[in-house]
């Protein structure tokens, strides 16, 4: 940053990226019956985009087992829980995964 013709270094405090746990009321292992499950939402990838920005992708500890096709963290890979065609792949993108390669 430049102020009055002089270059000044911008100092930013560190950010702690930590997992959190809590209840999920929409967990479904069969795609129909919903149940309450304790889940952990945790960072799964931290990638620098440029010197000013960092991408953090998040994942759910039960994401690979859950068939909730509306959940951002469920890893249903575009399949409908009952095999009734494709679903919107944007609904299953990991949080923070915007653009190519992220």
Provide mean pLDDT across the span 14-29: 90
Domain of 36, in residue numbers: 24-102
Residue 13 located in a structural domain: no
Q: How many domains is the chain built from?
A: 1
Residue 56 located in a structural domain: yes
Distance CA 40, CA 59 (A): 8
68: left (phi over 0), alpha (psi -120 to 50) or beta: beta
Q: Is the pLDDT of residue 100 over 50?
A: no
Task: Give the pLDDT confidence score for residue 52 in this predicted structure.
Answer: 78
Residue 40 located in a structural domain: yes
Residue 44 located in a structural domain: yes
Torsion angle of the four alpha carbons 42, 45, 47, 53, in this order, in degrees rounded to the nearest 10: -20
Task: Give the pLDDT confidence score for residue 6 in this predicted structure.
Answer: 63
Distance CA 11, CA 31 (A): 48
Q: Is the pLDDT of residue 65 over 50?
A: yes
Indicate the SS3 state at residue 89: helix
Residue 18 located in a structural domain: no
Residue 7 located in a structural domain: no
Residue 80 located in a structural domain: yes
Residue 16 located in a structural domain: no
């Amino acid at each position: 940053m430049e102020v009055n013709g002089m270059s000044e270094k911008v100092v930013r405090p560190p950010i702690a990226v930590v997992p959190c746990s809590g209840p999920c009321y929409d967990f479904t292992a069969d795609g129909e019956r919903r149940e309450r499950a304790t889940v952990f939402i945790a960072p799964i990838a931290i990638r620098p985009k440029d010197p000013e920005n960092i991408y953090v992708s998040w994942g759910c500890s039960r994401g690979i087992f859950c068939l909730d096709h509306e959940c951002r963290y469920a890893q249903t890979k575009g399949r409908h829980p009952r095999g009734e065609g494709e679903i919107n792949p944007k609904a299953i993108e990991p949080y923070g995964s915007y653009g190519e390669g992220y």
